[in-house]
Every structure is written in C-alpha cells, then in structure tokens.
C-alpha cells in the first residue's frame, strides 16, 4: 500500500502538533506539541477540559485564601493552566511541549527570564524535567537576549513570532534551541499587501523558512528550524525536510489522507554548497532591518497584540468561572 504524505514526512522531518486540544494530540501521535495563548484559551473553553480548569482554579483559591478576589484567583491560576495542559500533553507525546511566556513581557528581558524560570519550576514540581520543555518567547531583541541567558542556564527556548532573517540570525547567534518562523502569517500579509495569490515555492512564507534553514545549515548553527502557522498542505510539501514542522490537527489528518510521492525539498548538504552572505546582527542592525521589513514589523506587532488579547480573554473567563464555582459551594450553616 502506498505511503501517505504524513508517513513520508515523518521520515525526514520531526512532526509536531500545533494545538492545546489533548484529544486531538492523542489522535495524531506527534513527536512534540506546541501551545500558545490562543490555543490554551480555546482549549480551556472546551467542555471536556473543564475539570482541568476547575482543578487549577480551586488550587489557586486554596493558595490565596477565601478572601482573595475572583480576579486575583484567575491571575494566579492563569500561570498554572498552561502547565496543567502541558503535563497532560507530555503524558501523550514522547518528546517536548512548548509553553509560552506571557506576551505582555515581550519587551522585558528580566521579566521574561523570571517567568521562564517560574514555568520550569512549576513543571519540576510536577516531576517533569526541563529537558522536556521549550519556553516560547517572542522574537523581539529583548526576548532573544532573555533566551540567550536562559540557554546558558540549561533552559531550552523556542523563539516564536519570527518573520525576518534578522530575527532568525540573532536567535542563532544567541544559541537558542529552536526558532519558529510563521509561514502562513507571512503569506497572509503578502496576499493582503499585493492582492496576489501564491502557490507552492512562490509562497513568501515558504521562501522565508527556506532562506532561514539554508542560512543555519550553511554556517553550521545548532539552532533548529520549526516551520509553523500553515494555511495549506502545499506549504508543508514545499518544506519537507525542514528540521521540524508544527502542524494543526486538521492539516495532519489531510496529510495522512493523501497518498502521493513526497520529495525532500530542504537538505542540509545542499544548503552547505549555496552562496550565502554572512550577516552580523547587533541591536542597531536588528532595529534597522526590522524597521525596513514592513511585513516582519507588522506581523510581530500584530502577533504580540493577538496573544496579549487571548491572555486577557482567558483571565476574564477564569474570573467568571471562579465566581460560578463559588456560587456552587455549600454555604456554612447559619449563613444568609
């Protein structure tokens, strides 16, 4: 029987599930999984995960005491919810889970490092080694500097919201473990900006990841590339051979339903023989290149704002749920 695209992809690329939905992860059996604030917010609203949410809220209330406000309990619980989902995911996947630092800390190096260490400690309290965790941090200059220090402490980082070569090279120079260039979001920007449609190798998101992959392999960086944010399986086919690809469950199912030949497109040996100019990225160069790259500038800003909004939505949902749980609690005898 001919092999599916997904079966062939697994022979050359580590397949990662891009979701917070534990049931979906059980179905697609990826090596690793990635989450982000939007995915955790979506998963937290699914009825099948209400017990996880309620358990985290009850623990937070116990920790803060009965007099704590619903908002204070929600804020405390929010820090633990991603870890609760991460723990469940790690019981299914053999590899790692990516857990994101608060997007509101994207321009705060010290704050990012503190939260990353807190996340690692919370996982350690659950008996989970830091080797199984990737801390997701936005690819701002401040985020990259935080990741550089965290990597020296043995905390592995996944630099996300990455759109430009300047971000990627700065990450590689900082010796981060992994970068996640956003294929689909780049395509979205170009389609809107030019009014054109793009297919296959002409897709600007595909071209961006190919360029980053070739640069890293050509110059021998250890940082690996994980293409992310796909709009269709055509983009995935063009990036076959990339170190890792993080793919939503519905696209994983689609890949597993197609039986066609999947040629390898990205190859480290081929990249070594390409003519590639070395870039030196300090803060001034980073800022200059970022300002000149309208797409990277717009999408990084939009991504941070989107994840921030998702976090704020999640905090409101959690506060509302705290109030509902309080109403269900039996009142002491003699209370009004």
Nearest Cα neighbor of 102 from 111, 92, 94, 110 is: 111
CB atoms within 10 A of CB 175: 14
For residues 97 and 246, the answer to whether their CB atoms sit within 8 Å is no
Matching residue, tokens 């690329």: 13
Nearest alpha carbon to residue 29 among 44, 14, 51: 14
**What whole-number distance in Å separates Cα of residue 178 and Cα of residue 11?**
20
Buried b (16+ CB within 10 A) or exposed e, 67-100: ebebebbbbbbbebbbbbbbbbbbebbeebbbbb
CB atoms within 10 A of CB 275: 5
Record the tokens describing residue 319, joined without a space. Answer: 């506060």
Please return the burial class of 119, using the count of CB atoms within 10 Å of its CB with bins 0-12, 13-18 and 19+. Answer: buried
**CA gap 89, 186 in Å, rounded:** 28
Read off φ and ψ for residue 96, nearest 5 degrees.
Answer: -120, 160
Exposure on the CB side of residue 104, measured as CA atoms within 13 A: 5
Q: With contact defined as beta carbons under 8 Å apart, do 160 and 227 qualify? A: no
136 carries an active-site annotation? yes
Going by C-beta distance under 8 Å and a sequence separation of 6 or more, which residues neighbour residue 250?
Answer: none
Of residues 61, 62, 114, 136, which has the active-site annotation? Answer: 136
Q: From its phi and psi, is residue 78 left (phi > 0), alpha (psi between -120 and 50) or beta?
A: alpha
The residues annotated as belonging to the active site are 136
């Amino acid at each position: 029987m001919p092999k599916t695209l997904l079966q062939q992809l697994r022979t050359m690329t580590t397949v990662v599930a891009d979701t917070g939905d534990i049931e979906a992860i059980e179905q697609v059996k990826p090596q690793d999984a990635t989450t982000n604030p939007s995915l955790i917010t979506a998963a937290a609203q699914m009825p099948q995960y209400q017990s996880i949410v309620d358990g985290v809220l009850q623990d937070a209330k116990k920790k803060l005491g009965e007099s704590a406000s619903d908002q204070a309990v929600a804020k405390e619980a929010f820090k633990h919810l991603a870890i609760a989902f991460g723990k469940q995911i790690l019981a299914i996947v053999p590899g790692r889970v990516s857990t994101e630092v608060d997007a509101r800390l994207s321009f705060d190096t010290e704050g990012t490092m503190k939260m990353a260490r807190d996340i690692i400690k919370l996982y350690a309290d659950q008996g989970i080694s830091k080797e199984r965790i990737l801390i997701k941090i936005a690819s701002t200059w401040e985020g990259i500097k935080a990741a550089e220090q965290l990597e020296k402490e043995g905390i592995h980082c996944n630099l996300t919201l990455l759109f430009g070569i300047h971000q990627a090279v700065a990450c590689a120079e900082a010796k981060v473990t992994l970068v996640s260039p956003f294929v689909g979001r780049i395509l979205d920007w170009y389609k809107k900006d030019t009014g054109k449609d793009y297919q296959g190798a002409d897709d600007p998101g595909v071209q961006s990841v190919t360029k980053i992959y070739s640069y890293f392999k050509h110059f021998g960086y250890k940082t690996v590339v994980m293409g992310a944010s796909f709009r269709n399986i055509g983009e995935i086919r063009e990036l076959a051979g990339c170190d890792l690809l993080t793919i939503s469950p519905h696209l994983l199912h689609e890949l597993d339903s197609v039986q066609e030949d999947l040629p390898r497109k990205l190859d480290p040996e081929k990249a070594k023989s390409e003519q590639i100019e070395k870039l030196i990225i300090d803060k001034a160069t980073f800022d200059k290149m970022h300002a000149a790259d309208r797409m990277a500038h717009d999408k990084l800003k939009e991504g941070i704002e989107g994840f921030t909004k998702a976090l704020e939505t999640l905090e409101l949902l959690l506060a509302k749920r705290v109030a509902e749980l309080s109403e269900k609690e039996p009142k002491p005898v003699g209370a009004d």
